[in-house]
Amino acid sequence: MRKYLHINLNDRQTATEEWDGEALVKAGRYLIAKMLVEAGVATADPLGPDNPLIFSAGPFAGTTFSNANRLSVGCKSPLTGGIKEANAGGTFAYAMGRIELAGFTLHGQANEWLVIHFDKEGNLTFEEATPYLGKTNTEAANLLYERYGKKISFALCGPVGEYLGLLAGITISDSDGRPSRLAARGGVGAVMGSKKVKAIVIDVAAMPRLHDRKKTLSAVRTYAKLIQEDEAIQSTYYPIGTMAMADYTNHVGGIPVNNFTLGAQVNDSLETFKMGGTYITELNNSRGGNHSHACMPGCTIQCSNVYVDASGKEITSPVEYETLALLGTNCGLRDPDDLAEMNQYCNELGIDTIETGATIAVLMDAGLAEFGDLAFMRRVFQALQSGSEEGRIWAQGTAHAGKHYGIHRVPVVKKQAISAYDPRVIEVTGISMMTSAQGADHTTGNVPKYASRDKDLPTLMAASLEAQIACAAVDSIGLCIFGRSVTNPNIAFLADSINAALGTALEPTFFHKIGRETLRLEREFNEAAGFTAADDNLPAFFYDEPLAPSNQAARFKGVEVHDIYEHLDEGGTQGVPEEYGRVTSP
């Protein structure tokens, strides 16, 4: 049994629901889609009082089940105008589970800035937020620790979110207490800012009650062992992390460089790619950095990192692939130390590194600076922090900046910046970014190494759809996708583990069912919001400008891929055994 709270910010009244069984399983992205559709807010002002802001934790939240303490945050996106679920690692979902809180929804808008505080018994109080306003995230975090003690977790609206900048995410404390994990995409931080909630603080309590504690803890150990024996995780995610992808995308010519005008920064057969994961890992390890770091309690994948300078002093945590590409190569940076500096600015302001990097690259392409101009990038962050007139323009994201400066090369889908996989080369991920109701988000269905050029469109759409189903399911149960090489093939074990924790009677087919239903609900929301096949198009330059060095242009238009969800019941689920991943006749 866990609680779900509806918190009315106007009158500070709270309604409590008691949830158990499958209600605790169908969480995260599924729950957000279901609640938003049922609330009928598709046409609401996303920065107005009628847009709910939903926080949801998965069935293992509060335990040390590896990579199972992911937090989902959702609302109508002020960036895209469609549905948005942004998820994050860190400690917040873990802390929610420890006070047996399945989730909560923030309704309405407060009159004054607030901090919402949950004590170890789950009791909620509202407190004044004035001391934390206008501070960097590190400054605000330190003040929160002074006020509430060190044994807390928090979700924080940064300074850009305070003035409703659409670059803003919601910052979550990591396993060491840093304000460094973000529910980053879609402007969710601006929605938190519109509600005048500066921070949500949870006192970390003891492990939650479990249906069968002995079996659950045994499952925790078994799953950790599977992670530690998995080749994909142990050869890539554990020693290098997500930045390993940069070596691959640069090699195949699919990494964004200089506002998506090139697909490779260097010819790696002739020179070292210094923005690649291999080089950065060796550099960071040689300096005494930590390149196998758990962002959430209990995670044995440890794909995060703590990046240090030449003297061994911490610069930032973490440097991820998407940041490396969008804020790095896409802006013309070639030095990992410069990238780390820019990453930390994003951490301090609580903003999405993908959207921010894409925005800065558009500004450079519009003639405001040369690519690689570090001084200009610093000026952008200063403007964003101060909320100056130009800073507030830039804070509205890539699509708005491109329109303001009249540039044609604006890499967005549904007004959200395209992730670090150029769709002219990495086509299946491109189809996922085009068709997802979430906007251009690689995590909705990433298939980066699929050999696509000799395949027809139905084959590529099927590959995208299988990945989208699996990703939607993982996002709905609080898991991190980087465990999928273990999670998906062992879906029967996962069902048994959840049954032990919650007393449910799940069959292994629950996984694909929740993934498919989530995608249907998200499409339903976006259709009600007015989205059509035209919104699935890539920007024209992807079709008109072949990408060097591959000389490939985008092949598929929105109208050709828009009906992808009409085929939801036809294929399997990425990585899941056939008998558990397909729709079967009754």
pLDDT digits (tens, 9 = 90+) for 133-150: 999 999 999 999 999 999
Residue 287 tokens, joined: 């300096």
The model's confidence at residue 40, banded by pLDDT at 50, 70 and 90, is very high
Contact between residue 477 and residue 102 where contact means Cβ atoms under 8 Å apart: no
Residues 186 and 287 in one domain: no
Q: Of 417, 397, 406, which Cα lies nearest the Cα of 366?
A: 406
In a domain, 526, yes or no: no
pLDDT attached to residue 542: 98
In a domain, 541, yes or no: no
Residues 28 and 125 in one domain: yes
Q: Summarize the confidence of residues 326-333 as an average pLDDT.
A: 98
pLDDT digits (tens, 9 = 90+) for 351-366: 999 999 999 999 999 9
The model's confidence at residue 564, banded by pLDDT at 50, 70 and 90, is very high
In a domain, 490, yes or no: no
Q: Is the pLDDT assigned to residue 585 strictly greater than 90? A: no
pLDDT digits (tens, 9 = 90+) for 369-408: 999 999 999 999 999 999 999 999 999 999 999 999 999 9
8-state DSSP, 347: H
Name the CA radius of gyration of the chain, rounded.
22
pLDDT attached to residue 284: 98
The model's confidence at residue 293, banded by pLDDT at 50, 70 and 90, is very high
Rounded Cα–Cα distance for residues 258 and 409 (Å): 11
Q: Is the pLDDT assigned to residue 342 strictly greater than 70? A: yes
For residue 573, CA distances in Å to 408, 485, 489, 513 come to 37, 13, 10, 10
In a domain, 398, yes or no: no
pLDDT attached to residue 226: 97
Q: What is the mean pLDDT of the chain?
A: 97
Contact between residue 234 and residue 240 where contact means Cβ atoms under 8 Å apart: no
What is the count of structural domains for the chain? 2
pLDDT digits (tens, 9 = 90+) for 432-479: 999 999 999 999 999 999 999 999 999 999 999 999 999 999 999 999
Residues 196 and 239 in one domain: no
Which CATH number belongs to the domain containing residue 75 in this structure? Answer: 3.60.9.10
pLDDT attached to residue 391: 98
Residues 197 and 251 in one domain: no
Q: What percentage of the chain reaches a pLDDT higher than 70?
A: 100
Residues 97 and 24 in one domain: yes
In a domain, 78, yes or no: yes
Residues 126 and 37 in one domain: yes
The model's confidence at residue 244, banded by pLDDT at 50, 70 and 90, is very high
For residue 292, CA distances in Å to 295, 299, 339 come to 10, 11, 19
In a domain, 262, yes or no: yes
Residues 256 and 304 in one domain: yes
Q: Which among 383, 413, 442 is the end of a domain? A: 383
pLDDT attached to residue 282: 98
pTM, 2 dp: 0.98
Residues 262 and 187 in one domain: no
Q: Is the pLDDT assigned to residue 586 strictly greater than 80? A: no
pLDDT attached to residue 584: 82
CB count, 10 Å around CB of 36? 27
Q: Which contacts qualify for 449-455: CB closer than 8 Å, 24 or more apart?
A: 449/248, 450/426, 452/426, 452/427, 452/428, 453/427, 453/552
pLDDT attached to residue 497: 98
Burial 516-554 (b: 16+ CB within 10 A, else e): bbbbbbbbbbbebbebeeebbbbbebbeebebeebebeb
Owner of token pair 């260097």: 266
Q: Which range of residues forms the domain containing residue 113?
A: 2-203
- Between CA 159 and CA 170, with CA 164 as vertex, the angle to 5 degrees is 60
Residues 322 and 182 in one domain: no
Contact between residue 368 and residue 394 where contact means Cβ atoms under 8 Å apart: no
Q: Summarize the confidence of residues 95-124 as an average pLDDT.
A: 98
pLDDT digits (tens, 9 = 90+) for 295-312: 999 999 999 999 999 999
Rounded Cα–Cα distance for residues 467 and 473 (Å): 10
pLDDT attached to residue 243: 97
Residues 193 and 239 in one domain: no
8-state DSSP, 204: -
Rounded Cα–Cα distance for residues 66 and 302 (Å): 10
Q: Summarize the confidence of residues 499-517 as an average pLDDT.
A: 98
Q: Summarize the confidence of residues 147-169 as an average pLDDT.
A: 98
* Length of the chain (residues): 586
The model's confidence at residue 558, banded by pLDDT at 50, 70 and 90, is very high
pLDDT attached to residue 494: 98
Rounded Cα–Cα distance for residues 273 and 246 (Å): 9
Residues 142 and 23 in one domain: yes
Residues 239 and 198 in one domain: no
